[in-house]
């Protein structure tokens, strides 16, 4: 993988990872910073992490034109770049983004609940996200792992989706079936588990806050 291709892989990986990170970290703080809204029993408290996810999206979407501009400039100035042009695979990007948003929202619900009971959760989360970044295929390519080591990609909740993202943006290829299944499985687990944990504890929020 050439220098410009590596740069593009890192950029799109960072932009995508930071969207997930912002969803999770902002969502984790949303309940404890909800103020009087938490005391209102009629207020659906899940709207607070959801509003954090929307805020993260507003920060994320301007990065796509920035990335596309860098790719266009690179393809015009670097003759041997392997970054693909427009392909039908880009139609899968919105699907992957929706799956990523669901996964991140589910994790935000989980950490938002934990933060009510353990107020140092957000401080710990900053370290977790830093380690998570290095353990994800952002600063390194997914194809660097082979054989049994590829399981590392799939035990990471963001591993399959970051790998699929790289397949589309960097390789110009359709994500593999295992990547798609991995994305869907983690989205289901995060949303169901995070949602259940949040709903089962939200009656205690007003008392503990």
What are the tens digits of pLDDT across the range 87-101? Answer: 899 999 999 999 999
pLDDT at 78: 81
Residues 56-69 have pLDDT tens digits of 999 999 999 999 99
SS3 sequence of 66-102: HHHHHHHHHHHHCCCCCCCCCCHHHHHHHHHHHHHHH
User: How big is the chain by its Cα radius of gyration, in Å?
Assistant: 18
Residue 196 pLDDT level (bands cut at 50, 70, 90): very high
Of residues 160 and 146, more confidence is placed in: 160
Between CA 95 and CA 167 the distance in angstroms is 14
Per the CB < 8 A criterion, the answer to whether 29 and 122 are in contact is: yes
Burial of 120 by CB count in 10 Å (0-12 exposed, 13-18 middle, 19+ buried)? exposed
Per the CB < 8 A criterion, the answer to whether 96 and 167 are in contact is: no
This prediction has a pTM of 0.91
């Amino acid at each position: 993988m050439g220098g410009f291709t590596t740069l593009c892989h890192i950029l799109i990986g960072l932009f995508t990872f930071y969207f997930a990170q912002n969803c999770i970290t902002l969502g984790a703080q949303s309940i404890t910073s909800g103020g009087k809204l938490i005391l209102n029993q009629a207020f659906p408290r899940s709207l607070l992490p959801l509003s954090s996810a929307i805020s993260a999206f507003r920060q994320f979407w301007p990065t796509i034109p920035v990335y596309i501009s860098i790719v266009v400039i690179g393809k015009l100035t670097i003759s041997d770049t392997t970054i693909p042009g427009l392909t039908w695979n880009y139609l899968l990007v919105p699907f992957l983004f929706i799956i990523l948003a669901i996964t991140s929202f589910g994790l935000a619900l989980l950490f938002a609940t934990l933060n009510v009971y353990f107020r140092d959760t957000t401080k710990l989360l900053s370290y977790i996200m830093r380690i998570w970044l290095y353990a994800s295929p952002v600063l390194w390519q997914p194809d660097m792992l082979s054989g049994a080591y590829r399981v590392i990609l799939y035990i990471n909740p963001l591993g399959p989706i970051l790998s699929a993202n790289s397949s589309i943006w960097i390789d110009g290829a359709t994500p593999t079936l295992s990547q798609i299944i991995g994305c869907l499985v983690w989205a289901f687990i995060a949303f169901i588990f995070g949602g259940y944990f949040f709903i089962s504890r939200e009656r205690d929020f007003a008392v503990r806050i």
